[in-house]
Amino acid sequence: MSKSTINHVAQLAGVSIKTVSRVVNNEPNVHPRTRAKVEQAIEKLNYVPNQSARNLASHHAQMIGLVYEDPSIYQLPSAGYVLRLQEGTLRACRASHFELLIHPCNYHNPTVGEELKAVIQQVRPAGLVIAAPLSNMPKIVRAIAETGTPYVRLSPGSRSAKDFYLATNDREVSAEMTQHLVTLGHRRIAFITGHPDHRAVSLRFEGYKDGLAQSGIKFRPELVEAGDNSFLSGEESGYRLLQGKTPPTAIFAANDDMAAGVIRAADRLKIRIPDELSVAGCDDSALAQQVYPALTTIRQPISKMAEQAALALIDKSRNRQSAESSETRIIPSALKIRDSTGPAPG
Amino acid sequence: MSKSTINHVAQLAGVSIKTVSRVVNNEPNVHPRTRAKVEQAIEKLNYVPNQSARNLASHHAQMIGLVYEDPSIYQLPSAGYVLRLQEGTLRACRASHFELLIHPCNYHNPTVGEELKAVIQQVRPAGLVIAAPLSNMPKIVRAIAETGTPYVRLSPGSRSAKDFYLATNDREVSAEMTQHLVTLGHRRIAFITGHPDHRAVSLRFEGYKDGLAQSGIKFRPELVEAGDNSFLSGEESGYRLLQGKTPPTAIFAANDDMAAGVIRAADRLKIRIPDELSVAGCDDSALAQQVYPALTTIRQPISKMAEQAALALIDKSRNRQSAESSETRIIPSALKIRDSTGPAPG
DNA sequence: GTGAAAGCGCTAACAC
DNA sequence: GTGTTAGCGCTTTCAC
């Protein structure tokens, strides 16, 4: 492995190491001819700057840290979420020659704050992307803030944060989905709520009510069932709703797993989808496409949010001034209309 | 953020920085009393060693790199695989205060070798874990080997590698699954093969044949269908098999997606599982538990393999001599008996 | 535009 | 057991 250093390059190019440093870092004040010479030398020697040396001298690593709740406790459903986070962050990193450090953690671990601080102090990443739900947990955010490392919070739904964060329009898009069902002729539209701890999920319920109101349809409490985000709870809610006296013609669940449960319930009850019942979910998880019929759902821009967060951090570490550390950016979610929704029967 | 250095600690403890370094690195030859003093000082100053400085001086980072094929091109099915890889590697890292760098790459990218070398040269991780299928691609392995960085290959199935690698007993466990079906009374056991490029998957076919042979059952080519690892190909193979003149009583598919396809086909044909047909898959993907009835399958020790790989690398970076760089370790897979298999009908 | 010198905070190699 | 002295390969600061 070639282990040429900045000194070798400087020697070959006949300049000082500072000049090499300038061209490597794309700094101004280098004569084009000099730059060309240096670039040639770099090419010839196959020079790659040593990150550790760079980090030591510049006080931070060319690295972005991604912090999220460890999915193993959630089981596999959130696999897609984590992968999308990683995908977006990686896209940003790749473009800028940064590397990605992943750090899942358990919120319930009492020393998680110390742990995070230690990691940050050890590695000194240029910035941290904090994913929901950790991004809404004061303990976590405070610990990270205390280190002085720049960070961006990813909080779908939330809109109250004071520092730099990215969110999506969960509430608005849920209203949009509701209106979509109304447009298809549905009037009795049920909703299955999710786990109360999950902030974004409860915003979806608000969005559902907004959508009804905007369409001039009265909200009926009897068309609301409480789920807990699981497939099973969706299935049970489905039975209750569909076996009631005046069953809905459409069911909107606060996540895909529950919507899939509804599909199973309908299947068992010999109710055809979408002919007799429309079903909509939320998340666009892997399940949405595996289920039959493929699920109409809402796709959150997880990957894009993560990408923008990382990009902002990378930017900040370059133009050290930028900052605007209390910006807020909303990246809209999108309806994914598939086969589980259709015109209302009759 | 406290930014105390080794010097501060040395001063407070009244020793030289070298002694501090020794206790931090758990090196021998430090008097217990001295050690205690130093540890107190560390505690009081909240000292955390600066990784960059350490890396620079010691020529490698306290970091493990995980290299795998970028799943976005595979779509979400391999999400579980990637997450298990990460989980295992993280477990090893966490225990040793190493950090994890993830680096998915596209095998078909012509410059992937250069890219990997650049990353390695930049970050200088203590070692690299290379996951299948990249671990079987000479281009990748060669590029990494050229950098001189220690690496471990994860190659389920493969057993030919000359350097340090971990594998599982894909072939044997597939034979075991076949025998399990025989034990349940099945005699006409069909097999659906997977994508020919996927090495481990083809070993499963060999295992199936072994299992038949070991049970004294004649191998029948008409009971073999060629799939391509997709749900759809499994469904189609299922129809062909189940609508033949003498349909099988059990179908063993080379992966879970295809097995799920078979379940769907059986459902459409009103064939009850497991009463009339047993179905077995392979991988224990998330799908296996979402499908109804829950799928009997084979669980590969992906996470454990990744963990052991990382552990070996970490070990090597500590006791720089160890090496044994051409060891081979087999970690067995396990049968996961669920609800899709049962006694043969009649 | 360019360069010289002084570190960044640690480990390595050798004293003692 | 413990300390001294050099670096590791860069960035920074400031001079020219």
In angstroms, the CA B11 to CA B287 distance is 59
B109 touches chain A (CB under 8 A): no
Q: List, for residues B66-107, the tens digit of each pLDDT value.
A: 999 987 644 555 677 888 899 999 999 998 889 999 999 998
**How far: A310 CA to D10 C1' (Å)?**
25
B105 reaches A (C-beta below 8 A) = no
CA atoms within 13 A on the CB side of B114: 7
Residue B335 is predicted with a pLDDT of 97
B10-69 pLDDT, tens per residue? 999 999 999 999 998 888 888 999 999 999 999 999 888 888 898 888 888 889 999 999
B26-48 b/e (C-beta count within 10 Å ≥ 16 → b): eeeebeeebbebbeebbeebebb
Burial of A195 (0-12, 13-18, 19+ CB in 10 A): middle
Name residues whose C-beta falls within 8 Å of residue A121's C-beta, 6 or more positions apart in sequence.
Answer: A147, B1, B48, B50
A165 Cα to chain B: minimum distance (Å): 22
| Contact flag B87-A72 (C-beta cutoff 8 Å) | yes
DSSP H/E element including A26: none
Which residues of B are less than 8 Å from A51 in CB distance?
55, 61, 122-124
Per-residue pLDDT of chain A (346 residues; tens, 9 = 90+): 557 899 999 999 999 999 999 999 888 888 999 999 999 999 999 888 888 898 888 888 889 999 999 876 445 556 778 888 999 999 999 988 899 999 999 888 999 999 999 888 888 899 999 998 899 888 999 999 988 889 999 986 666 667 788 989 999 999 999 999 999 999 999 999 988 767 777 889 999 999 999 999 999 999 999 998 888 899 999 999 999 999 999 999 999 989 999 999 999 999 999 999 999 999 888 778 878 899 999 998 999 999 999 999 998 887 754 555 677 889 999 999 999 999 999 8
| Rounded (5°) CA angle B3-B8-B12 | 135
Chain A residues in contact with B101 (beta carbon < 8 A): 99-101
- Distance, in Å, from the CA atom of A101 to the CA atom of A98, rounded to the nearest integer, reads 10
Q: Which residues of chain B are within 8 Å of residue A5 when distances are taken between CB atoms? A: none
DSSP string covering A91-158, please? HHHHHHT-EEEEEEE-TT-TTHHHHHHHHHHHH-EEEEEE-TTGGG-HHHHHHHHHTT--EEEE-SS-
Which DSSP helix (H) or strand (E) runs through A15? none
- Tens-level pLDDT at each residue, chain B (346 residues): 557 899 999 999 999 999 999 998 888 888 999 999 999 999 999 888 888 898 888 888 889 999 999 876 445 556 778 888 999 999 999 988 899 999 999 988 999 999 999 888 888 899 999 998 899 888 999 999 988 889 999 986 666 667 788 989 999 999 999 999 999 999 999 999 988 767 777 889 999 999 999 999 999 999 999 998 888 899 999 999 999 999 999 999 999 989 999 999 999 999 999 999 999 999 888 778 878 899 999 998 999 999 999 999 998 887 754 555 567 889 999 999 999 999 999 8
Question: Which nucleotide is closest to A47, CA to C1'?
Answer: D9
CA-based nearest residue in chain B for residue A261: B290
In chain B, the N- to C-terminal Cα span, in Å, equals 73
**CB-based contact (8 Å) between A185 and chain B?**
no
Residues with CB under 7 A from strand C: A 15-19, 22, 28-31, 33-35, 53, 56-57; B 3, 5-7, 17-18, 21, 24-25, 47, 49-50, 53-54, 56-58
Strand positions, DSSP E, A183-304 = 189-193, 224-226, 250-253, 278-280, 297-299
SS3 B330: strand
Q: Phi/psi at B196 (nearest 5 deg)?
A: -60, -25
Of B72, B122, B292, nearest to A51 by CB-CB distance is B122
Q: Does A100 touch chain B (CB under 8 A)?
A: yes
Calculate how close chain B gets to A260, using CA atoms only, in Å: 10
Contact A51 B124 (CB under 8 A): yes
Q: Which residue of A has its CA nearest to B86?
A: A102
Nucleotides of chain D in contact with protein CB (under 7 A) are 1-5, 7-13
B residues 126-165 closer than 8 Å to A (CB) = 146-148
| B104 contacts in chain A (CB < 8 Å) | 90
